[in-house]
Structure 1
């Protein structure tokens, strides 16, 4: 079993300081503008975001909408050059317009803030927590696994304050927020390396099943600011759940979401067309995958139907090149199928 202990913060940052300074200059000359419109569309709230472009900004915007439990019904994406222009038609969970003034104010302030576009400017959430430690693991899924993990932690006086888990293709990825009960719940696990090592060994034993090497998992302890659901995406990809999905379909004939990847030669893009089953957070899951695979979305359209969603994206690698090899194309399809 491989045991990994991520060092430092779990921060996604693909831009160097010079790029940030240039982006700040453009942004100061053209500050972002967020318009929230409840009049122009009969059955949805229209949110328009115009801003300086930066790699990952599309995912950040969608992440804010998703965290507020807003459903993206339609989206129009354009981010060629140095400017980012998006339009989202959203509803609340009940299918109604967004009328809550607190939510509207939060959207406006957060999407226009410096801390949103330049996370380095804000220390909030980027330093290790003094109240909890994040424990993350991937393993074979089985009934009672979380209960066993919690019981192991309890033997060392640690309590699971919050847990988020995903299961897919008989695998599970989990991020646990753990507090130290021996200090009244106010100390992080990582301050005691000896106890942490003991926890590591005990959890490793729980994550292994009958000595079957295919059932082993990975466990890590870290502190950081990566969005939890995005972290779960990354863990599933690292666990290669998309390959297990391929084997499962071959075994039981289960159909996959329809994903097509083809060349758009005249514009030097790669076109991605998806027709997955519609559900909440679908756009977020798709963009997590594309962003973490180092693809940039230049243009896109999203629309939802009663059961099926339609997503179309024009992408390039971060180096500006389209998807060129058949192997990369196949890998992209597999990851998008698994994500959706």
Structure 2
């Protein structure tokens, strides 16, 4: 019984609107995806209640992947996509993040002429070289603007189709972590993410608490970051109340050590704040649905650029003859974009464009009572989510098995 309890993981989940799951096909997909040993696990896509597709498209294994990191600047995505068109490449999916003056994107491409993956080594090397020139453009200016005067690192990597490819969003976290986007995160602007680390010497754990605004994929972002930093989670308690999410982790490093030094704690704190805020969307949201064609991403981003708009985050995918994308845009200075400009751009792009103003990335569940609504969740005193569970289970075991990520 104790052995089974050590492996028990309980998740209370809702759909994207905060409601109980009722779609049997989605429930079946989740069960299949959580048990990869089952035949056909996760082999088909499922459409969620908001019309989004969930499925294997998150890891595009049959296409050539381009990974890029560097200094963020207005028009960067436009320059990249324009070069790809010139090189005879067609974008089938892409995702781009910006954070703390840095940018990372992963673009999946095919040969525009054949529609298949690009396997010629010489051609891939040429694509990589040309993109390196684009990502490296203006990097000296960006470096001087930061006050350091040193070289700003940028990186372009082309990878052919592979079955072992990492999930796209997790790979973006890894790219930005390697790019050290977290180093000045707490100094650039005041953060709404609170991270604290305490020691529980009696059990040999470090207790990590994260308090921030709730949103989809928050747990994914924090757990992936801890795993990539080589920390093992032995126990976790996660809760969301209204717009607030509280996460509590009992962790050790893979070598069995806890977070004992101030420098290590500061680094973990900075990295988790960055992991939470990389996905936070800044600017107006534009949802685009139009006919797919070669050069579509280049045309859309060119329209943004010509109208003085900058892309802070983007997600693009294609399904047959249809292309869908979500873009968060600001003005060239990173401030709120002018509404008239955005409306003009949406008309110029063609297709179906939905402009969403100040749309939250997460629609919280309504409070259970008026009394709950009158009390701000953020103002409530700190509490330990894990303490209740520990008090019940500690008498049964002096240790917990690790949660393998």
| Matched residue, 1:109 | 32
Q: CA RMSD in A?
A: 2.8
> How many angstroms does 1:240 deviate by?
0.2
Determine if the alignment matches structure 1 residue 185 to structure 2 residue 115. yes
- The CA deviation string for residues 275-305 of structure 1, in whole angstroms up to 9 with x for no partner, is 1122111111110111111111111111112
The secondary structure found in structure 2 opposite 1:161 is: strand
- In 2, the alpha carbon distance for the partners of 1:235 and 1:140 equals 13
**What is the CA deviation profile of residues 62-89 of structure 1, one whole-angstrom value per residue up to 9, with x for unaligned ones?**
xxxxxxxxxxxxxxxx7xxxx4211111
Q: In 1, are the aligned partners of 2:96 and 2:104 still within 8 Å (CA)?
A: yes
- Write out aligned runs for 1:1-340 (5 A): 83-114=6-37, 129=61, 131-182=62-113, 184-186=114-116, 188-189=117-118, 191-212=119-140, 213=143, 214-222=151-159, 223-224=161-162, 225-249=165-189, 254-340=190-276
* Structure whose residues are more often helix by fraction: 1
> Equivalents in 1 of 2:66, 2:152: separation in Å?
19
TM-score normalised per structure 2: 0.57
Query: What is the DSSP-based 3-state SS (H/G/I as helix, E as strand, rest coil) of the residue aligned with 1:301?
Result: strand
CA apart distance, 1:143: 2.3
User: Runs of 5+ in structure 1 lacking a partner?
Assistant: 1-29, 31-49, 53-77, 117-123
In 1: Cα distance, 2:68 partner to 2:38 partner: 30
Q: 1:331 to 1:115 in 2, by over 3 A?
A: farther
Moved over 6 A (4+): none
CA distance in 2, matches of 1:300, 1:261: 14
Relative to structure 1, the CA distance from residue 211 to residue 167 in structure 2 (aligned partners, 3 Å threshold; closer, same or farther) is closer
User: How far 1:327 moved relative to its partner?
Assistant: 1.8
- 1:261, CA displacement in angstroms? 0.8
**Structure 2 counterpart SS, 1:329:** helix
Counterparts of 1:196 and 1:113, CA distance in 2: 33
Structure with higher Rg: it is 2
Q: CA deviation at 1:113?
A: 3.8
Once the two structures are superposed, residues 126-153 of structure 1 have per-residue CA deviations (whole angstroms, 9 ceiling, x without a partner) of x995x52000001112222112111111
Task: Determine if contact 1:150/1:159 at 8 Å carries over to the other structure.
Answer: no
Aligned residues: 249
Query: Conserved in 2, the CA contact under 8 Å of 1:135 and 1:219?
Result: yes
Instruction: Tell me by how many angstroms 1:256 deviates.
Output: 4.6
| Contact 1:271/1:315, CA 8 A, preserved across alignment | yes
Instruction: List runs of 5+ in structure 2 lacking aligned partners.
Output: 40-55, 144-150, 277-405
1:324 is paired with a residue whose SS is coil
